Amino acid sequence: MAKHIGKSTVRLEHCPYIIGNAAVGGKEEGKGPIAADFDHLYTDDALGEASFEKAESRLQKDAILHALQKAEKTPEEMDFVLSGDLLAQCIGSAFGVRELGIPFLGLYGACSTMALALGLAAVLTDAGAARQCVAATSSHFAAAERQFRQPLEYGGQRPPTAQRTATAAGATVLSATPPTAYHSPYIVRVQAVTFGKIVDLGIKDANNMGAAMAPAAADTIAAALQDNGQPPSAFDAVFTGDLGAVGRDLLLQLLQQDFSVDLHTVHQDCGLLLYDRKGQDVHAGASGCGCAASVLNAYILPKMQSGEWSHILLAATGALLSTTSSLQGESIPAVAHAVRLTAEPYKYAADG
Amino acid sequence: MAKHIGKSTVRLEHCPYIIGNAAVGGKEEGKGPIAADFDHLYTDDALGEASFEKAESRLQKDAILHALQKAEKTPEEMDFVLSGDLLAQCIGSAFGVRELGIPFLGLYGACSTMALALGLAAVLTDAGAARQCVAATSSHFAAAERQFRQPLEYGGQRPPTAQRTATAAGATVLSATPPTAYHSPYIVRVQAVTFGKIVDLGIKDANNMGAAMAPAAADTIAAALQDNGQPPSAFDAVFTGDLGAVGRDLLLQLLQQDFSVDLHTVHQDCGLLLYDRKGQDVHAGASGCGCAASVLNAYILPKMQSGEWSHILLAATGALLSTTSSLQGESIPAVAHAVRLTAEPYKYAADG
């Protein structure tokens, strides 16, 4: 049985296996430093669809289908799909998974959604509620710009603190039992999940998500380290989802000041990995649900599956604002969820 | 350990206890047939807040606080709050639970959210991931009108198939262990949860949600009955969330035609209970996340706690559209989730 430990962490008993993972991205992602790690890159950000929103749904669906293919599974074999996105009423997900025929648990965690989906999927699988399920999320730069700011046609100027929403999606397939067919030397298991509470320190600048989200990241990371009883040095890396350059600095300061945690040496941010900030016009870095989702599935998990890394904490943060809340003068509540992953040598082959 | 059975049902092992439940509503809800069952009714739909969106957040927060009070629990004692709502980026929930300090799992299931939240909360509690947690959702007529249709000031005409979004919220507190202090003769436990898949038969009329959602309700109810191995006659009532008059007729037809299930005698719809359709200007009935949430917590659970009903299936449906998807010519995907509840005599008093 899973166990709730400490402040807000669920320690899993059976530690489900990640049996498939995939990421797809758009044009700008194809110019970034981890471009080669993606399963597919589209050269047309509309993906041949009639709107950017439909393109986002296609991204999510494609990421799921790629991940299932790599897991050698069909949609029919999945008990659940857990997903969400940034668009109003989560249409990126609803239309993305509509044709898959998999029971659908819709989530909203803004850019924390990959960790929320993977964490919940892991708890469900650990508990026997699912035998196999898939967690996914997506975002699209052009769809997000007109959802939260202005349509691209408006030509709005973005300040230096702004981040670029990733045109990307990622999907992770979980199984209660290890696969008998598997093609990497190591297999990743989910050990624990820390679900965070909302933290809002009063930031109102919708062009500075990093600052709004850093306090939630600090709160959840500190809780995860304490609840798991592990110092930062126990991890090969502690990833945040999309704090960007501004948020990363604030996170490191907050962790030091408020929690006496020094994360400098092991911290990495998915938002600083997806693009080359010198060569690409992305200001403070990448953001969006698809940022953590694609970096996790294209970059982090493969490094664990090859044996390079064995112990990772991924804490993805979400800014829970809308244009309505901002226009009504509200500050930006944020939340962060974290999953603790370990890699172990694969030893379950059917012929083994 | 929980068990995934049949198509899409999770049979719980420990069957968590509902130890607190509450519902709050607005002015129109205060004129309906179950008005007396609400924990609180506001006579001003703005609740003294500066906007209808802020009023909705207040509704959700108040429902949670009422439910916690009735459970004789504090927010600090809750491991998680699971909630969602209809507003873009779920701001009704984010701002509603912001000050509670409870780890927050955000959900999006449109009007299916109460069943999704309660179902997931039950699985988490059953699995040991949570010792105690709270599931909640809310909706607000005026906030939903301007979110999905036009602001009330526009004075748009609503067709006869349209439903009125409830200005209401409901919250349910779950516990892994029975309470030692409890004030009803019967206590309700969650036995099983059926998570539905997306069903979209091509309905495009955003003023006819009942028709869009009925096929999803039929699919999930048929799956729940089959997976649980129980005919409709095993239940005191099978509730849908907010199909309204149009959707209810379609549901009964679809169940008969496609699944050979006759639900006529035991079916009830929360959307037809909240208002008096003859005396109130609500067209096809009530809708919105707050409809199923308030009817469950104000009407269904109390009838189980008094011993009048012992076996209930609640299937709440959600229409997963947005104004963007409708304006882009898309049809309306729908989903339904169901929870199976039983009441048993309360026998756990501390004194014995």
CA distance A141 to A72: 31
Closest CA to B38 of B343, B315, B301, B282: B301
Nearest CA in chain A to B325: A91
Nearest CA in chain B to A75: B197
Are A97 and A152 in contact by the 8 Å Cβ rule? The answer is: no
Residue A8, both tokens: 């807000």
pTM above 0.95, yes or no: yes
**3-state DSSP assignment of residue A350:** coil
CA distance B322 to B337: 20
Tens-of-pLDDT digits for all 352 residues of chain B? 999 999 899 999 999 999 999 999 999 999 999 999 999 999 999 999 999 999 999 999 999 999 999 999 999 999 999 999 999 999 999 999 999 999 999 999 999 999 999 999 999 999 999 999 999 999 999 999 999 998 999 998 889 999 999 999 999 999 999 999 999 999 999 999 999 999 999 999 999 999 999 999 999 999 999 999 999 999 999 999 999 999 999 999 999 999 999 999 999 999 999 999 999 999 999 999 999 999 999 999 999 999 999 999 999 999 999 999 999 999 999 999 999 999 999 998 876 5
Residue B94, both tokens: 């984010």
Kind of pairing, strands A168-175 and A237-240? unpaired
A108 with B198: Cβ contact below 8 A: no
Residues of chain B neighbouring A339 (CB-CB closer than 8 A): none
CA distance B113 to B139: 11
Cβ-based neighbours of B329, under 8 Å, separated by 6 or more: B204
Please give the share of chain A, as a percent, with pLDDT higher than 70: 99
Q: Using one digit for the tens of pLDDT, what is the confidence trace for B211-244?
A: 999 999 999 999 999 999 999 999 999 999 999 9
A128 with B1: Cβ contact below 8 A: yes
Closest CA to B350 of B196, B178, B166: B178
- The CA distance from A101 to the nearest CA of chain B, in Å, is 6
C-alpha torsion angle, residues A247, A248, A251, A252 (rounded to 10): -150
Cα B79 to Cα A301, A336, B99, B171: the distances in Å are: 29, 15, 15, 15
CA distance B170 to B21: 7
Chain B interface, best mutation among A195, A209, A335, by max B CB count within 10 A: A195
Residues of chain B neighbouring A108 (CB-CB closer than 8 A): 84, 89-90, 93, 106-108
Cα A5 to Cα A9, A44, A128, B255: the distances in Å are: 5, 46, 20, 44
The predicted pLDDT at position A351 comes to 65
Q: Using one digit for the tens of pLDDT, what is the confidence trace for A255-304?
A: 999 999 999 999 999 999 999 999 999 999 999 999 999 999 999 999 99
Q: ∠ at Cα B101 (A252, B128), nearest 5°? A: 100
Residues of chain A neighbouring B4 (CB-CB closer than 8 A): 79, 128-131
Per residue, the 3-state secondary structure of chain B, as one string, reads CCEEECCCEEECCCCCEEEEEEEEECCCHHHCCCHHHCCEECCCCCCCCCCHHHHHHHHHHHHHHHHHHHCCCCHHHCCEEEEEECCHHHHHHHHHHHHHCCEEEEECCHHHHHHHHHHHHHHHHHCCCCCEEEEEEEECHHHHHHHHCCCHHHCCCCCCCCEEECCEEEEEEEECCCCCCCCCCEEEEEEEEEECECECCCCCCCCCHHHHHHHHHHHHHHHHHHHHCCCHHHCCEEEECCCHHHHHHHHHHHHHHHHCCCCCCCEEEHHHCCCCCCCCCCECCEECHHHHHHHHHHHHHHHHHCCCCCEEEEEEEEECCCHHHHHCCCCCCEEEEEEEEEEEECCCCCCC
Please give the share of chain A, as a percent, with pLDDT higher than 90: 97
Closest CA to A317 of A215, A213, A237, A246: A213
CA distance A258 to B238: 51
ipTM of the complex: 0.98
* CB-neighbour burial class of residue B224 (10 A; exposed 0-12, middle 13-18, buried 19+): buried
Chain B interface, best mutation among A1, A3, A4, by max B CB count within 10 A: A4
Residue among A106, A131, A330 whose CB faces B109 most closely: A106
**3-state DSSP assignment of residue A153:** helix
The predicted pLDDT at position A350 comes to 77
Closest CA to A182 of A18, A36, A14: A18
The predicted pLDDT at position A167 comes to 98
CA distance B146 to A327: 15
B88 with A335: Cβ contact below 8 A: no
Q: At what angle are helices A52-70 and A141-148 packed, to 10 degrees?
A: 130
Residues of chain B neighbouring A84 (CB-CB closer than 8 A): 106, 108
A86 with B84: Cβ contact below 8 A: no
pLDDT exceeds 80 at position A352: no
Expressed in percent and rounded to 5, the helix, strand and coil fractions of chain A are 40, 25, 35
DSSP state of A30: G
**3-state DSSP assignment of residue A147:** helix
Are B60 and B111 in contact by the 8 Å Cβ rule? The answer is: no
DSSP state of A208: -
B1 with A1: Cβ contact below 8 A: yes
Residue A180, both tokens: 């008998």
Q: Measured between alpha carbons, how far apart are the two ends of chain A, in Å?
A: 29
Kind of pairing, strands A3-5 and A9-11? antiparallel
Q: ∠ at Cα B122 (B117, B123), nearest 5°? A: 100
- The CA distance from A131 to the nearest CA of chain B, in Å, is 7
CA distance B202 to A242: 37
Residue with tokens 């955000």: B106
The predicted pLDDT at position A165 comes to 97
B94 with A324: Cβ contact below 8 A: no
Sign of CA dihedral B244, B248, B251, B257: negative
CA distance A340 to A326: 33
**3-state DSSP assignment of residue A313:** strand
CA distance A109 to B107: 8
Residue with tokens 């607190």: B20
Are A27 and A43 in contact by the 8 Å Cβ rule? The answer is: yes
The predicted pLDDT at position B351 comes to 65
Residue A270, both tokens: 């998915």
